[in-house]
Amino acid sequence: MAACYRYLGAEERFRTIAYENAARTMDSLKEDVSVYADNVKHLDQLKGIGESIAEKIIEYLKTGKINTFEQLQKNVPMELLDLMEVNGMGPSTLKTLHEELGIDNRDELVLAIEKGKLSTLKGFGEKKIDNIKRALKLYKESGTRLLLWDALQIGESVLNEVLKIKGVIHAELAGSLRRRKETIGDIDIIITCSLKSRKLIIKNFTSLTQVSRIIAAGDTKASVVLKDHNTQVDIRLVDENEYGSALLYFTGSKEHNIHLRLMAKDKGWKISEYGLFHAKTERKLEGNTEDGMYKALGLPWIPPEMREEKGEIEWAMKHPLPKLVELKDIKGDMQMHSTWSDGAESIETIARHILKYFPQYEYIVITDHSPTERIAHGLKPEEFKKQFAEIDKINKSLGKDFVKKGVEVDILTDGSLDLPDALLKEFEWVTASIHSGFNKDNTVRLLQACEHPSVHCIGHPSGRLIGKREGYTVNWQQLFKKAIATGTAIEINAQPERMDLKDDLVHEAIRKGVMITISTDAHNLNQYVFMKLGVDVARRGWCEKVNVLNTKSWKEVMKFASKK
DNA sequence: GCCGTTTTCGGCCCGACTGTTTTCAGTCG
C-alpha cells in the first residue's frame, strides 16, 4: 500500500511515509502479527501503527483482503510499481509513462523504448532515456546483495586504494558496512580533505582501475559501479571539522538519523552532514566528532552496530549502553571440523595454526560430524574413541590441554541424537544441529535436543543460508525458554552465509537470559578469521562479554556445562 | 496516516547531483 501511495505522488507523501513506517514495524516483529491482532488497541501500541492501519491489519487477518487496497489497485498500475526499485525511476517518471503512453508493465516499457516513444515525452531527453535503459538492464542482472564478509573484503580493498590518493587525510568505511549488517547493498566511504584537493580526489577515485562505470561525480560526492559484482561505491568528501557529523550521517541507519534529527529539531536545532546547528541563527554547535554530536543531544556515543532504530536511542536515554563484546574478548573457538570428517586439515595442523595466529585463544573444540552426515564423512562411535586418543596425544605434545573433545551431533527427525548416550557423555562439549528436514517446523526437534542431558549447545539454530535457503520454522520464544531451563547455549555460527543465530534473535535471546557461543565452524585454515564476523553478529544483538560463553576460561565453560 | 514533557492540530530530516531548462523537479542516500 505504501508503494501505491508513493506512486500517487506528492499529495499522498505523508501517508506513504506512515505506511512505510508501519510496514517496517511489522517487518521487525519477533512474533507473528496475529499475536497483537486480538484488538485494535493492542496493535495501536506498536510504533507507527495507529487506529486506521490497525483496523486494516485486522481486516486482512479476518478476510484475507483489505478493502482500501482493493480500491487502490484499480487506480494504480500494480505491475509498474516494481520498477520504482529501478535506479533513477521514481513515482513521477512512472506516472508519466503510464498516463502518457499507457505503459502498464516492464515489457511494455522495454517495447516503448525500442520504438523510440519516450523521446516524445516532455522532460525525457536523450540522457534520461539512456539512463533508464541501462538501469533496467542492471536491475535485471543484479538485485542480490553482498554477504557482509564479501563486502568487507571489497570495501577494505577499495579503501586501501582511496587512502593512496593524494590529498586524502582520513578515509573510513561507513554505511551498512560499518554497521556490519548481514548483507550489504553498496559500499560507502567517507573522506576528509582540504577544499581545494576535492576535485582531484574525485577525479582519481572515479578513474580507479576497479571502476566500471561512473554514476555521478560532483563537487563533494561521487558514485561508481565496480567491476567486481557490480558493487556500487559512494564516496563523500568533507572538511576535517565536519568529520563527526558526516560520519554519523553516512553511517546511518537512515531511521536512526531521522530520529536524531527529530530530537535536534525539538531543541530548536538541526542536524545535517555538516554539523549540528541552531535552526535560526545557523550557528554551528558541533560536528568534529560523532561523540560530540551524541553528547550535544544528551546521548552517549552509540556503537554503529546498534544504530538500527530498534530502541537503542530510547535505551540510551534511560540506561547505560551495553559494553559490546569485542574480538579480543574471545578465548576459544567452539566448533570446527578436521580431516576426521569433512575438514581439510588434521587436528594437529589446526591446533598449531591457531596457536600461532590466534595467540589469545586458550582452547579450541574439535566438533566433527556424527554418522548420519555421510556426505561429510560423519564418524562412527568407535572412530570417536580413536579421535579421543589422538587429541590426548596432540595435547601432550603441545604441552597443554588446548584441544577439546567435541562433536557436532545430528538431531534426527524424531528429535533423538544419532550417537549413543554413553558415548555422548564422554565428550567435553556437544553441539547438536539439524542437517535435514528443512521445510518443516523444527521447534519440537530442537526442544528435545535441549532436554538431552549431554547437549551443551544448539548449532546454527535456524539452518538458513543467506540468499540461498530460508531457515526452517522455529518458535523462538519456546526455544529460548527451553534453552534457559535446560542450561543449553545457542550458537552464533560465523560462516559468512550462515550468521546463524541472526542479530535480532540474538538480541531477543540474551534479553531473556540465553547463553550464546560464537564459533567459526571452520572447515579449513582460512576460515578461523570468521570469528570476527560472529562477534559482529553478537554486537548487533547487543551482546556483552558476559552473554558469550567463549569469552570465559575453559574452567568456566565446564562449569556452565556441568549445570545441565 | 501517525504523533505529542510546549501541541489532539499541524507538523512530518536534510542536502547533493542530474538532466532539462534557464530556475527547478525528480531522484537518491
Asked whether residue A128, judged by its CB, lies under 7 Å from any atom of the DNA or RNA strand B, the reply is: yes
| Domains in chain A, CATH or no CATH each | 2-141 (1.10.150.20), 146-238 (3.30.460.10), 243-318 (3.30.210.10), 327-562 (3.20.20.140)
CA A362, CA A331: separation in Å to the nearest integer? 5
A217-237: per-residue pLDDT in tens?
988 999 998 988 888 999 999
Q: What does the pLDDT read at residue A140? A: 61
**Buried b / exposed e along A292-302 (16+ C-beta atoms within 10 A):** bbbebbebeeb
Asked whether residue A176, judged by its CB, lies under 7 Å from any atom of the DNA or RNA strand B, the reply is: no
Task: Report residue A279 as a C-alpha cell.
Answer: 535552526
Q: What is the pTM of this model?
A: 0.84
* Closest C-alpha among A378, A386, A435 to residue A407: A378
Which nucleotide is closest to the Cα of A126 by its C1'? B19
Q: What does the pLDDT read at residue A293? A: 93
| A258 CA vs B19 C1’ separation (Å) | 29
Asked whether residue A21, judged by its CB, lies under 7 Å from any atom of the DNA or RNA strand B, the reply is: yes
| A275 CA vs B14 C1’ separation (Å) | 11
Q: Strand (E) positions, A111-154?
A: 146-147
- Dihedrals φ, ψ of A126, to 5°? -60, -45
Asked whether residue A153, judged by its CB, lies under 7 Å from any atom of the DNA or RNA strand B, the reply is: no
CA A519, CA A530: separation in Å to the nearest integer? 8
Task: Report residue A525 as a C-alpha cell.
Answer: 585454515
Task: Report residue A332 as a C-alpha cell.
Answer: 576459544
Task: Report residue A26 as a C-alpha cell.
Answer: 511489522
| A256 CA vs B29 C1’ separation (Å) | 14
Nucleotides in chain B near protein beta carbons (<7 Å):
1-3, 6-7, 11-21, 25-29
Asked whether residue A200, judged by its CB, lies under 7 Å from any atom of the DNA or RNA strand B, the reply is: no
- Cβ pair A171, A159 in contact under 8 A: yes
Task: Report residue A340 as a C-alpha cell.
Answer: 576426521
| A254 CA vs B29 C1’ separation (Å) | 8
- CA separation (Å) from A522 to A258, A398, A405? 40, 21, 16
Q: What does the pLDDT read at residue A139? A: 67
Asked whether residue A223, judged by its CB, lies under 7 Å from any atom of the DNA or RNA strand B, the reply is: yes
User: DSSP letter string over A154-188?
Assistant: HHHHHHHHHHHSTT--EEEEEHHHHTT-SEESEEE
- Cβ pair A534, A332 in contact under 8 A: no
End-to-end CA distance of chain A: 50
* Closest C-alpha among A173, A169, A131, A172 to residue A148: A173
Q: What does the pLDDT read at residue A118? A: 86
| A563 CA vs B3 C1’ separation (Å) | 49
CA A204, CA A408: separation in Å to the nearest integer? 50
CA A457, CA A511: separation in Å to the nearest integer? 18
Helices A106-114 and A126-141, axial angle in degrees (round to 10) = 140
Which nucleotide is closest to the Cα of A218 by its C1'? B17
| A14 CA vs B14 C1’ separation (Å) | 16
- CA separation (Å) from A171 to A146, A150, A163, A242, A533? 22, 20, 6, 13, 22
Asked whether residue A318, judged by its CB, lies under 7 Å from any atom of the DNA or RNA strand B, the reply is: no
CA A472, CA A114: separation in Å to the nearest integer? 45
- Cβ pair A368, A403 in contact under 8 A: no
Task: Report residue A278 as a C-alpha cell.
Answer: 541552531
Asked whether residue A120, judged by its CB, lies under 7 Å from any atom of the DNA or RNA strand B, the reply is: no
Task: Report residue A314 as a C-alpha cell.
Answer: 530510547
Which nucleotide is closest to the Cα of A234 by its C1'? B29
Which nucleotide is closest to the Cα of A266 by its C1'? B6
Give, as one character, the DSSP assignment of residue A370. Answer: P
Within window 503-542 on A, which residues have Cβ closer than 7 Å to strand B?
A: none
Asked whether residue A68, judged by its CB, lies under 7 Å from any atom of the DNA or RNA strand B, the reply is: yes
- Cβ pair A392, A385 in contact under 8 A: no
Which nucleotide is closest to the Cα of A222 by its C1'? B17
- Cβ pair A150, A177 in contact under 8 A: no
Local structure of A220: helix, strand or coil: coil
Which nucleotide is closest to the Cα of A265 by its C1'? B13
| A184 CA vs B7 C1’ separation (Å) | 40
Within window 82-101 on A, which residues have Cβ closer than 7 Å to strand B?
A: 84, 86-94
Q: Low-confidence residues of chain A, pLDDT below 50?
A: none
| A2 CA vs B2 C1’ separation (Å) | 14
| A323 CA vs B4 C1’ separation (Å) | 32
| A507 CA vs B28 C1’ separation (Å) | 32
| A54 CA vs B11 C1’ separation (Å) | 22
